[in-house]
Amino acid sequence: MSNKTDDIAKLYDQYLMPTYSPAVALVSGAGSKVVDIDNMQYIDLTSGIACLACGHCHPAVTEAIVNQAKVLPHLSNLYYNTNMVLLAQALSRLSGGYKAFFANSGAEANENMIKLARLWGHEKGKYEVITFNKGFHGRTLAMCAATAQDKIQKGFDPMPTGFAYADYNDLDSVKAAINEKTVAVMLEPIQGEGGVIPADEAFLKGVADLCKEKGLLLLMDEIQTGMGRTGSFFAWEQTGVKPDLFTLAKALGGGLPLGAVLARPDIADLLHPGMLGTTFGGNPCACAAALAVITTIEKEGLLEHAKTAGEQLREGLEALMDTYPQILEVRGRGLLIGMVVEGSAKEVVDSCRMGGVLCCTAGEHVVRFLPPLNISEKDLEEALEIIGDSLEELYGE
């Protein structure tokens, strides 16, 4: 570790709660490239954990943020917020008429989605939400309870009540978890943090049918899969199953904190002023950035590009399987790709970083790749070469 990075690491130890273990100190970025404090350049296949759909410092996104910051960076929800309603209008067009509520993060969006589902079920005394083992829904106390993973809950119990767990891609386990208190089933179309595990088409269809049959709401957490990541604005578009409510965050705000709940209008209209709220939710800078993200994705054909670039990445990684039997599987959709390895995924991530490629883990054995949706063929090719070299370093004789 260089002196400059080392200095920052020391400040971390002294002043921050020890909640993260960061690697390098990035100081600037453009497109799919970032530079660290010691001038080392990387190809970034994490895009801020799926937050930068248009890459680092896309001119349209940067300009939208800067222009808004110059005139009215914040205004509260006491007053009409033009950017917020224009963004809601855009999301309504993309979702087929759903209404929006804006929050500041993924966890907060999910919290509000659960509140709305509970409101819908309130008269019938229904409030329990079925979530899935290995899922991830955020770090607030209720979302820890929704996240059926030991490592997220341990030490913080007792957990808030109102959740039951089922196994992903196992319809019988969902059936078994339903009782008279059940109000909704909540899932990620692809489990991101849990290891890039896509839902089987038949499973999703089965859950949707089950929800209809039992009078339950279907909730989707599209915080990681949304905003073009899998090749359509929302992952559910490719599944033939439409949720009653769904959430967005990560890539929505173009790098600024922004989350959203999208809901069927008849459910949304159960709300009255004062029932949901948040000070910063729908911040005009964040909404301006989000509008620029949507425009850029449409203008630059990034949904299509996410599919072709995703193919390129997938094929490149699959080609490495021939040389390295330590790679067990490559899976995912669009530009949300997981590479399952026999040993430690962190070891692979560290080795790639040393070679100049940033990727991240999703659990112990899955290396996760989430490049910007506009990554060029050339950058991806270069990244694949570096990944190959890093695997050789790690796994070669």
Ligand X SMILES: *Cc1c(COP(=O)(O)O)cnc(C)c1O
Q: Which of 36, 99, 132, 221 is catalytic?
A: 221
Considering only 170-178, 188-196, 199-207, 345-353, which stretch makes contact with ligand X by CB under 6 A?
Answer: 188-196
- Residue 221 annotated as catalytic: yes
Among 83, 169, 224, 232, interactor with ligand X by CB under 6 A: 224
Q: How many CB atoms lie within 10 A of CB 255?
A: 24
Considering only 15-23, 164-172, 187-195, 284-292, which stretch makes contact with ligand X by CB under 6 A?
Answer: 187-195
**Cα 366 to Cα 330: distance, rounded to the nearest angstrom:** 9
Q: Per the structure block, which two tokens stand in for 160?
A: 């808030």
Phi and psi (nearest 5°) for 297? -60, -40
C-beta of residue 129 within 8 angstroms of C-beta of residue 183: yes
Q: Is 102 in the site for ligand X (CB under 6 A)?
A: no
Q: Which of 132, 136, 203, 233 is catalytic?
A: 136
Among 45, 223, 261, 336, interactor with ligand X by CB under 6 A: 223
- Residue 244 annotated as catalytic: no
Q: Which of 99, 126, 134, 250 is catalytic?
A: 250
**In the beta sheet, which residues pair with residue 166?**
132
- Residue 280 annotated as catalytic: no
Q: Is 111 in the site for ligand X (CB under 6 A)?
A: no
Cβ proximity to ligand X: between 126 and 333 the closer is: 333
Among 137, 331, 353, 368, interactor with ligand X by CB under 6 A: 137
Q: What is the gyration radius of the CA atoms in the chain, in angstroms?
A: 21
Cβ proximity to ligand X: between 139 and 181 the closer is: 139
Read out DSSP for 113-140?
HHHHHHHHHGGGT--EEEEEBT----SS
Of 115, 107, 148, 113, which is closest to residue 246 (Cα–Cα)? 113
Considering only 23-31, 88-96, 186-194, 376-384, which stretch makes contact with ligand X by CB under 6 A?
Answer: 186-194
Of 150, 170, 160, which is closest to residue 118 (Cα–Cα)? 160
Of 102, 78, 108, 77, which is closest to residue 88 (Cα–Cα)? 102
Q: Is 368 in the site for ligand X (CB under 6 A)?
A: no
User: What residues line the site for ligand X (CB under 6 A)?
Assistant: 105-107, 110, 136-138, 188, 192-193, 221, 223-224, 249-250
Q: Which residues belong to the active site?
A: 136, 221, 250
